[in-house]
C-alpha cells in the first residue's frame, strides 16, 4: 500500500480544500533564507575531500566540545551517531535524563546493545563515559546495565564516571510515577514509569538525595525517610513502614560501596579535560520537543534535552560548546499522549510503524507515526543552533510513490502561524499544509555514497536543507554502524 493519502483531520482541513499541497516553487511555500552558518566554517569542505574520505573529513571538522541532540519527540537514532563519532572523542557525556532514554547501538560484529543510562560511547575501549550532574541515577538499574555489558564482553572498569552531584532515583520514585499516571487517567502524560519525573520533582523541591549522600550513610536514612513520608502523604496507594526504610538503607549501603569507584567531581573532570584539549561529545537523551520549557508541555520529559541542558547538566560554559548535530528521522514519531500535527492513522501509520520497527527501546510501546514536520524541525533548529543534521531512517521511505512534508501551520480561520506554538489548544487545532515530493522505488539500505542515492531521495534531503536552513551531513539508511552516508 502507498502512504500517499494523509488521513488526518488537520490535513483534511488545510487551506480551502482537503490536504492542500504546495510545490517547491509555489508562492505559498515558506520563504527560505539560509543563515550565515551555512555551511559552517569548520565543515565547509571540498567535494573532492568528501569523496576521498567523507567520514574522516566530517569527524575532523567537529569542534572540541560537540553535541548530538534530538530534534523531534525522541527515538530519532541519536545513539548510533554517538557510537559512530565516539572513536574520535576522548569523552562521551550524558547531561540529563535517566534510564528513560533508550539508545540502541550495534558493535562492529553487528551485536545489538540497548543502553539506557550508560553513554553510547561505551563500546569504544579508549572512550571515557561520563554521567553528568543533570542526570538522575537509579543505582540498581545502573548496575544491571553494567553487568549486562560486562557479560557481553564490554569492559566498564575505570571507564564510567558518575557525578557526585547527580540525583538518586529510588524505587519509590518509580512507584509514585505509576500512581501519578493512574491518577491522571485519560490525561496521562505517557511516561516510561521509570520514576524520572518524581525524581526531578524531589530535586526541585529540595528534598532529593544526591550521589554524594552515599558517602554519608549516618544521615542517609533520615533524608530518605523524608522522601518516603512525602510519597505516603501524597498518595493513598503508597504504603510505607519503618521496616521498608531500614531495608532500603541496608540495600544502599551495599550499593554505596560498589558505586564509590565510579563517583567523581565530573564538573572538574570535564573542565580540566577541556583545558587539556581533550575532545568531548555530549549525548542528549530524549529530544527538544520533549524539553520541559520548549516542548509540548505538559506532555514532556522533566529535564532540558535542548542545548541549554548541556551547560546546566555538565557544568560546561556556553563559550566552550561548538558544533551541535540535530538528529531527525526522515518522518516523525512520538510516544505517549500529546498533540502530533502530522500524525498518520490507520493503515498508513501502521505501514510506517512496521517498516521502521517503531517500538520503544525502553518500554516496547508502539510509536505514533507521521510525515516529517518541518515546522517543528525548524523550531528545534532555532532553539539549538544546529550546525548540521543527521537524517535517520531514510531507507524506511523507500517504495513510496510520493512523500509529504508538513511545511506550514494555519489556524482554523486560515491565519498562518510564524512558528511552533506553545499553546496546546492552538497546536491541537492547526491545519497542516503539505508539500508533496516524488518518492523512489529502489532499496537504498546498501547505498554508502550520496551520489548513488536515487534522485527522489536526494531531492528529499536537499528540500529539507532548504526549508530549515541547516545542512544534512549524515544520512542513516539502516541500523548498522556502516549504514551511514556522509554528505
- Strands (DSSP E) contained in 317-356 are 324-329, 332-334
Residue among 103, 173, 279, 404 flagged as catalytic: 103
C-alpha cell at position 485: 552516508
User: Which of 295, 433, 437 lies closest to 376, judged by CA?
Assistant: 295
- 430 annotated ligand-binding residue: no
Name residues whose C-beta falls within 8 Å of residue 180's C-beta, 6 or more positions apart in sequence.
Answer: 197, 198, 235
DSSP category for residue 343: B
User: Which of 64, 110, 109 lies closest to 88, judged by CA?
Assistant: 64
- 86 annotated ligand-binding residue: no
Residue among 8, 20, 203, 404 flagged as catalytic: 203
- 75 annotated ligand-binding residue: yes
Looking only at Cα atoms, what is the longest distance across the chain?
71
- 477 annotated ligand-binding residue: yes
- 192 annotated ligand-binding residue: yes
- 78 annotated ligand-binding residue: yes
- How far apart CA 487 and CA 484 sit, in angstroms, is 10
- 79 annotated ligand-binding residue: yes
User: Which of 150, 163, 164, 144 lies closest to 122, judged by CA?
Assistant: 150
Element (H, E) at 201: helix 196-204
- 394 annotated ligand-binding residue: yes
- 17 annotated ligand-binding residue: no
- 158 annotated ligand-binding residue: no
- 433 annotated ligand-binding residue: no
- 301 annotated ligand-binding residue: yes
Residue among 8, 20, 75, 213 flagged as catalytic: 75
Cβ atoms within 10 Å of 390's Cβ, excluding its own: 25
- 74 annotated ligand-binding residue: yes
Name residues whose C-beta falls within 8 Å of residue 40's C-beta, 6 or more positions apart in sequence.
Answer: 61, 323, 387, 388, 471
- 432 annotated ligand-binding residue: no
Cα three-residue angle 358-362-368, rounded to 5 degrees: 30
Cα of 213 vs its chain's centroid, Å: 29
- Strands (DSSP E) contained in 255-310 are 263-264, 280-283
Identify whether 75 is a catalytic site residue: yes
- 312 annotated ligand-binding residue: no
Residue stretches of the annotated binding site for substrate: 361-367
Residues annotated as part of the active site:
75, 103, 203
Residue stretches of the annotated binding site for GTP: 74-80, 102-104, 367, 393-395, 476-478
Residue stretches of the annotated binding site for Mg(2+): 75, 102
Residue stretches of the annotated binding site for IMP: 75-78, 100-103, 192, 206, 286, 301, 365
Residue stretches of the annotated binding site: 74-80, 100-104, 192, 206, 286, 301, 361-367, 393-395, 476-478
Amino acid at each position: 500500500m502507498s502512504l500517499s493519502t494523509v488521513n488526518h483531520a488537520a490535513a483534511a482541513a488545510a487551506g480551502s480544500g482537503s490536504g492542500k499541497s504546495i510545490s517547491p516553487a509555489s508562492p505559498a511555500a515558506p520563504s527560505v533564507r539560509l543563515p550565515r552558518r551555512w555551511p559552517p566554517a569548520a565543515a565547509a569542505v571540498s567535494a573532492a575531500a568528501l569523496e576521498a574520505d567523507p567520514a574522516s573529513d566530517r569527524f575532523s571538522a567537529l569542534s572540541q566540545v560537540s553535541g548530538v541532540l534530538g530534534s523531534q519527540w525522541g527515538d530519532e537514532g541519536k545513539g548510533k551517531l554517538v557510537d559512530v563519532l565516539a572513536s574520535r572523542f576522548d569523552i562521551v557525556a550524558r547531561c540529563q535524563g535517566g534510564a528513560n532514554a533508550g539508545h540502541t547501538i550495534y558493535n562492529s560484529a553487528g551485536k545489538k546493545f540497548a543502553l539506557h543510562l550508560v553513554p553510547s560511547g561505551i563500546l569504544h575501549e579508549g572512550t571515557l563515559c561520563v554521567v553528568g550532574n543533570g542526570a538522575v541515577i537509579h543505582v540498581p538499574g545502573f548496575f544491571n546495565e553494567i553487568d549486562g555489558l560486562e557479560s557481553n564482553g564490554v569492559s566498564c572498569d575505570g571507564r564510567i564516571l558518575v557525578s557526585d552531584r547527580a540525583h538518586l532515583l529510588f524505587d519509590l520514585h518509580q512507584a509514585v510515577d505509576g500512581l501519578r499516571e493512574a491518577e491522571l487517567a485519560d490525561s496521562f502524560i505517557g511516561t516510561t514509569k521509570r520514576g524520572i519525573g518524581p525524581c526531578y520533582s524531589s530535586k526541585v523541591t529540595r528534598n532529593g538525595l544526591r550521589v554524594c549522600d552515599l558517602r554519608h550513610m549516618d544521615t542517609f536514612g533520615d533524608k530518605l525517610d523524608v522522601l518516603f513520608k512525602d510519597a505516603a502523604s501524597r498518595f493513598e496507594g503508597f504504603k510505607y513502614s519503618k521496616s521498608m526504610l531500614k531495608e532500603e538503607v541496608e540495600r544502599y549501603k551495599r550499593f554505596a560501596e560498589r558505586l564509590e569507584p565510579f563517583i567523581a567531581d565530573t564538573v572538574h573532570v570535564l573542565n580540566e579535560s577541556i583545558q587539556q584539549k581533550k575532545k568531548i561529545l555530549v549525548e542528549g537523551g530524549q529530544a527538544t520537543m520533549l524539553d520541559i520549557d520548549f516542548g509540548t508541555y505538559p506532555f514532556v520529559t522533566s529535564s532540558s534535552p535542548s542545548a541549554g541542558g548541556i551547560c546546566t547538566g555538565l557544568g560546561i560554559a556556553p563559550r566552550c560548546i561548538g558544533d551541535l548535530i540535530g538528529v531527525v528521522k526522515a518522518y516523525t514519531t512520538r510516544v505517549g499522549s500529546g498533540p502530533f500535527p502530522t500524525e498518520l492513522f490507520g493503515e498508513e501509520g501502521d505501514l510506517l510503524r512496521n517498516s521502521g520497527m517503531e517500538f520503544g527501546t525502553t518500554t516496547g510501546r508502539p510509536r505514533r507515526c507521521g510525515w516529517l514536520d518541518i515546522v517543528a524541525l525548524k523550531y528545534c533548529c532555532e532553539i539549538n543552533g544546529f550546525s548540521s543534521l543527521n537524517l535517520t531512517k531514510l531507507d524506511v521511505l523507500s517504495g513510496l510513490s510520493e512523500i509529504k512534508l508538513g511545511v506550514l501551520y494555519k489556524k482554523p480561520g486560515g491565519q498562518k502561524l510564524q512558528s511552533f506554538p506553545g499553546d496546546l489548544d492552538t497546536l491541537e487545532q492547526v491545519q497542516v499544509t503539505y508539500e508533496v515530493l516524488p518518492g523512489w522505488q529502489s532499496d537504498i539500505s546498501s547505498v554508502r555514497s550520496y551520489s548513488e542515492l536515487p534522485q527522489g531521495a536526494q531531492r528529499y534531503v536537499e528540500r529539507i536543507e532548504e526549508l530549515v536552513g541547516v545542512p544534512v551531513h549524515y544520512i542513516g539508511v539502516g541500523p548498522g554502524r556502516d549504514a551511514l552516508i556522509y554528505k
